[in-house]
Amino acid sequence: MTTEQTQNDTLAVLNPATGETVGRVHDHSGEEAAALVDAAQAGFEAWRATTPRHRSEVLTAAFLGMRAHADRLRDLIVAENGKSQADAAAEVSYASEFFRWYAEEAVRTPGDYTEAPAGGVRNVITRHPVGVAVLITPWNFPAAMATRKIGPALAAGCSVLLKPASETPLTAFAIAEILTEAGVPEGVVQVAASRSASTVVSAWLADDRVRKLSFTGSTGVGRRLLAQCAERVVNTSMELGGNAPFIVTAGADIDAAVEGAMLAKFRNGGQACTAANRFYVHQDVLGEFTEKFGAKIAALRVGDPAQGADIGPVITEKAAGEIRGLVQRAQERGAVIAARAELPADATAAFLAPTLLTGVPTDAEILSQEIFGPIAPVVAWTDLDAMIDLANAPEVGLSAYVYAGKLQTAMKIAERLEAGMVGVNRGIVSDPSAPFGGVKQAGIGREGGAFGMEEFTEVQYLSVDWS
């Protein structure tokens, strides 16, 4: 079980692999959350007055702090999230890089100086920190989703109010401690965990001093938050749902495609917004791909990640049940289980066997839903245009993957895909130096790279008389 349990005013954090309580944090009420804005505003006024160089040095210290505490952070993520030790270690490394990247970006705030075409005027364009920023992060990457938002916010000179997922708050509090040790002043980074996320976030968004919302989560919740933000026209960034196609052409290097598929599908047990959700494999290479992919899937070790398993549980038993329903309904439509890993004898209901499905109809429900689990449905294709239409059909366009023998072929397909990020002959797209985000209903704005810091700034233009 992974349902939250309260004891007085605390929130229990449960291990999804064992159901055991691994920690407790304070369960914030709406009134307590609202009171945090006072400190956040005071922290903002002090932090924005610091030099870019100072903010850079603090973020560098935070990067080094995360590296020093890497093992502790890895174990926290394994315990509260349920991902494998290898995945958790990789996440900590990836998450720390956002502090290093934005330590470097902090001293490079863009601006401009031009002469007006008519003469007599100089245009000075500068950027200023937007203000107090509310950050809402999901449970699937409790470290990386936090640092990807905190890093650019602090580099820009903002203070932040972080609301981590109630399933995985321990990592967020640990990162906040590291930031304090690195020299972040009181009030600049505050974390509030709560069973009632809407109560806490609503209290924050109702305060005129809150000027920014950065949210990562489902498209449905994103729509509701956008409606709230519209009431005060709050500056908003959102990274929402995904339904990534993974395309394999007839000329692809199949061994490379299989390795990429394993990474794109089974990273974090498939519980990633960028996870490959639908596999479109050309009929000419379907047999070879499914045979090799299936063998890799069947060899995955499922079990308690603390004991070294490759694949742990999904986040809740409820989530596992919903995914089982998708698989069952796909089978009823003619899909076949071509390969499946073994579950341990003592597996709880939160565990799912990594599964390869073939013969999946193009209109099956499992292809239109974000699976968020270790299930790989495969569709055969022969007509390129028809396949691209299927790949672009969902309302979200976050990420996609293309494997083709010729780079030009892969690039031509990639440019036709309605996705904010495309892995070209590569099974991963995330990088702190690159813009992360999607198109259509997959979100607004970008995180990472120089774009990420711009999301936490406002542009100001000074018109200077030069006559």
For the CA atoms of 411, 415, 419, 420, the dihedral, rounded to the nearest 10 degrees, stands at 80
Residue whose pair of structure tokens reads 């005027």 in the numeric block: 121
Q: Which amino acid is at 431?
A: D
Q: Can you name the residues that pair with 356 across neighbouring β-strands? A: 339, 376
Report how far residue 2's alpha carbon sits from residue 58's, in angstroms, rounded to the nearest whole number: 36
Write down the catalytic residue from 97, 273, 370, 454.
273
Query: Using an 8 Å Cβ cutoff, are 81 and 304 in contact?
Result: no
The C-alpha angle with vertex 402 and arms to 398 and 406, in degrees rounded to 5, equals 150
229 has catalytic annotation? no
Query: Using an 8 Å Cβ cutoff, are 177 and 184 in contact?
Result: no
The closest of 343, 272, 346 to 310, measured between CA atoms, is 343
Write down the catalytic residue from 239, 447, 454, 455.
239
User: How far apart, in Å, are the Cα atoms of 143 and each of 5, 171, 351?
Assistant: 23, 6, 23
The C-alpha angle with vertex 365 and arms to 362 and 370, in degrees rounded to 5, equals 105
239 has catalytic annotation? yes
User: Would you state the structure tokens that stand for residue 132, as one six-digit string?
Assistant: 């107090």
* Max CA distance (Å), the chain: 83
Please, which residues have CB within 8 angstroms of residue 306's CB and are 6 or more apart in sequence? 17, 75, 78, 79, 85
Please, which residues have CB within 8 angstroms of residue 224's CB and are 6 or more apart in sequence? none
Query: Using an 8 Å Cβ cutoff, are 275 and 363 in contact?
Result: no
Please, which residues have CB within 8 angstroms of residue 375's CB and are 6 or more apart in sequence? 270, 323, 326, 327, 352, 354, 355, 357, 366
Active-site residues, by number, are 239, 273
